Structure 1
Amino acid sequence: MWKTRRISLPGGLCCFLKDPLEDVDSWSESVDNVLTCKTALLAFREFLRSEHSEENILFWMACEEYKKIKNVPEMISSANRIYSEFVQTEAPKQINIDGGTREKITSNISQPTLTSFDSAQKLIYSLMARDCYPRFLKSDIYRGLQRRADIR
């Protein structure tokens, strides 16, 4: 039996869900619904992992966390980690961005700001929204979760 729990949403809103799959149908309305729901985000990440493109969601999530940083030393450390893990050429989880965007980040990484990765994050968001997300909605992962939600 599912326990009722409070989940925070953007803008300070919250909802009370009895079942984390309760809103599975709303995931098909927009990629934003997937990215703002923890259960949907986990399912989408699993789908991307199965397609060998998990770096996209990991980068997007890292950028979301990066924008919440309040102190400079932590920002510098996090920026360097994101850069070396996702942006630099031959990074272990290198994201697919254009050379100009990569160069701009590279030239500014020594003095990062909270907006250092915004252009790359927008590119990755766009890639996920137009390419990965439609495939996710057709995937066995999403359809299986829909069936489980319908049974409940």
Structure 2
Amino acid sequence: MWKMTRRISLSGRLCCFPEDPPEDVDAWSESVDNVLTCKKGQLAFRQFLQSEHSEENILFWLACEEHKKMKNVPEMISSANRIYFEFVQTEAPKQINIDCGTREEIAKNISQPTPTSFDSAQKLIYSLMARDCYPRFLKSDIYQALLRRSDLR
């Protein structure tokens, strides 16, 4: 019998999990934080957001989480510029949906970034994901298939 070890098919989509589903799939339904603090949860949620053409939200959120950890000033400047040009500036390749005031505030301060430079935008995106995307994720084929496989163990 043929056995998949790298990818499983979930309603025509690919999900990068080993044959056994993550152990904490059930916990993902408790809060968006449980999804975002779990690497496999992030992968499943990202795949779902890709299917909705809004993957930039989790990518931005994750980039901000990494940016906050930076202590080295040159690295922080490089990280801030990458985040700004990739997600924040108008017409960015993966432009996030934030209000113009937040966008302008980040643009004004990008030359002297701090670990909290993107906090206001990150909170907006987190809220969007928690309020809008996360409930749909829980109903999605991706999550439901993982949940069913988890229940079969």
Give me the TM-score of the superposition, normalised by structure 2. Answer: 0.86
Task: Please say if residues 21 and 150 of structure 2, whose CA atoms lie closer than 8 Å, have aligned partners that are also in contact.
Answer: no
Fraction of identical pairs, as percent:
84
Counterpart CA distance in 1 for 2:139 and 2:28 is: 12
RMSD of the TM alignment (CA)?
0.8
Counterpart CA distance in 2 for 1:82 and 1:23 is: 30
Structure 2 gaps, min length 5: 1-19
The residue type equivalent to 1:130 in the other structure is R
Counterpart CA distance in 1 for 2:79 and 2:103 is: 17
Structure 1 gaps, min length 5: 1-18
Any idea what the Cα deviations from partners look like across 1:85-141, whole Å, max 9, x if unmatched?
000000000000000000000000011111100000000000000000000000000
Counterpart CA distance in 2 for 1:23 and 1:58 is: 22
Any idea what the Cα deviations from partners look like across 1:26-59, whole Å, max 9, x if unmatched?
1000000000111111000000001000000000
Task: Please say if residues 21 and 146 of structure 2, whose CA atoms lie closer than 8 Å, have aligned partners that are also in contact.
Answer: no
Counterpart CA distance in 1 for 2:128 and 2:94 is: 16
Counterpart CA distance in 2 for 1:34 and 1:55 is: 16
Counterpart CA distance in 2 for 1:69 and 1:56 is: 21
Residue 133 of structure 1 is matched in structure 2 by: 134
1:51 aligns with 2:44: no
Residue 150 of structure 2 is matched in structure 1 by: 149
Residue 110 of structure 2 is matched in structure 1 by: 109
Task: Please say if residues 31 and 129 of structure 1, whose CA atoms lie closer than 8 Å, have aligned partners that are also in contact.
Answer: yes
Greater relative contact order structure (CA < 8 Å, 6+ sep): 2
More displaced, 33-42 or 84-93? 33-42
Task: Please say if residues 20 and 39 of structure 1, whose CA atoms lie closer than 8 Å, have aligned partners that are also in contact.
Answer: no
Counterpart CA distance in 2 for 1:121 and 1:23 is: 25
Matches within 5 A, 1:29-108: 29-108=30-109
Q: Aligned pair count? A: 134
User: What is the SS of the residue equivalent to 1:52?
Assistant: coil
Residue 120 of structure 1 is matched in structure 2 by: 121
User: What is the SS of the residue equivalent to 1:69?
Assistant: coil
Counterpart CA distance in 1 for 2:61 and 2:96 is: 10
Give me the TM-score of the superposition, normalised by structure 1. Answer: 0.86
